Amino acid sequence: MTLAAATNENLADLSNTLIYSAMAVYTLAFFAYITEWIFGSRSKVGRTAAALTAAGAAATEAPAVTVKNAGGTAVLERPKVVVRAAAGARDVPDGPGAHGGDEKGDLYGRIAVSLTLLAFLIEFGGVLTRALSVQRAPWGNMYEFNITFSTVAVGVYLTLLALKKDIRWLGLPLITSVLLDLGVAVTVLYTASDQLVPALHSYWLYIHVSTAILCGAVFYVGAVSTVLYLFRDSYENKIAGGGTPGRFASSVLERLPAAASLDKFSYRVNAAVFPLWTFTIIAGAIWAGDAWGRYWGWDPKETWSFITWVAYAGYLHARATAGWKGRKAAYLALIAFGCWLFNYYGVNIFVSGKHSYADVGLSALQSVGF
Name the burial class of residue 64, with classes exposed (0-12), middle (13-18) and buried (19+) by CB atoms within 10 angstroms of its CB: exposed
Q: Which residue has the higher pLDDT, 278 or 81?
A: 278
Q: Which residue has the higher pLDDT, 71 or 190?
A: 190
Residue 363 φ/ψ, nearest 5 degrees: -65, -40
pLDDT at 75: 46
pLDDT at 196: 66
H helix intervals, 68-202: 103-134, 142-162, 171-187
The overall average pLDDT reported for the chain is: 80
Dihedral of the CA atoms 119, 120, 126, 131 (nearest 10)?
180
pLDDT at 89: 54
- Given CA atoms 283, 360, 198, 354 in this order, what sign does their dihedral have? negative
Dihedral of the CA atoms 292, 294, 297, 300 (nearest 10)?
40
Question: Could you tell me which residues are beta bridge partners of residue 76?
Answer: 65
Given a cut of 60, whether residue 181 has pLDDT beyond it is yes
Query: pLDDT band for position 230 (50/70/90)?
Result: very high
Given a cut of 90, whether residue 111 has pLDDT beyond it is yes
What's the gap between Cα 47 and its chain centre? 30
Which of the residue ranges 56-60, 115-119, 287-291 has the most confident prediction, judged by mean pLDDT? 115-119
Helix orientation angle between 327-341 and 259-292, rounded to the nearest 10 degrees: 30
Given a cut of 50, whether residue 366 has pLDDT beyond it is no
Could you give the percent of the chain with pLDDT greater than 70?
77
What is the rounded CA–CA span in Å between residue 64 and residue 58? Answer: 12
pLDDT at 300: 83
Q: Which residue has the higher pLDDT, 362 or 206?
A: 206
Name the burial class of residue 81, with classes exposed (0-12), middle (13-18) and buried (19+) by CB atoms within 10 angstroms of its CB: exposed
- Report in angstroms the alpha-carbon separations of 314 from 219, 224, 310, 368: 15, 19, 6, 38
Helix (H), strand (E) at residue 75: strand 72-76
pLDDT at 357: 52
- Report in angstroms the alpha-carbon separations of 308 from 96, 246, 282: 35, 37, 14
Q: Which residue has the higher pLDDT, 209 or 81?
A: 209
Given a cut of 70, whether residue 350 has pLDDT beyond it is yes
What is the rounded CA–CA span in Å between residue 130 and residue 22? Answer: 14
Residue 294 φ/ψ, nearest 5 degrees: -150, 145
Helix (H), strand (E) at residue 74: strand 72-76
Given a cut of 50, whether residue 95 has pLDDT beyond it is yes
Q: How many CA atoms lie within 13 A of 333 on its CB side?
A: 34
Q: Which residue has the higher pLDDT, 62 or 368?
A: 62
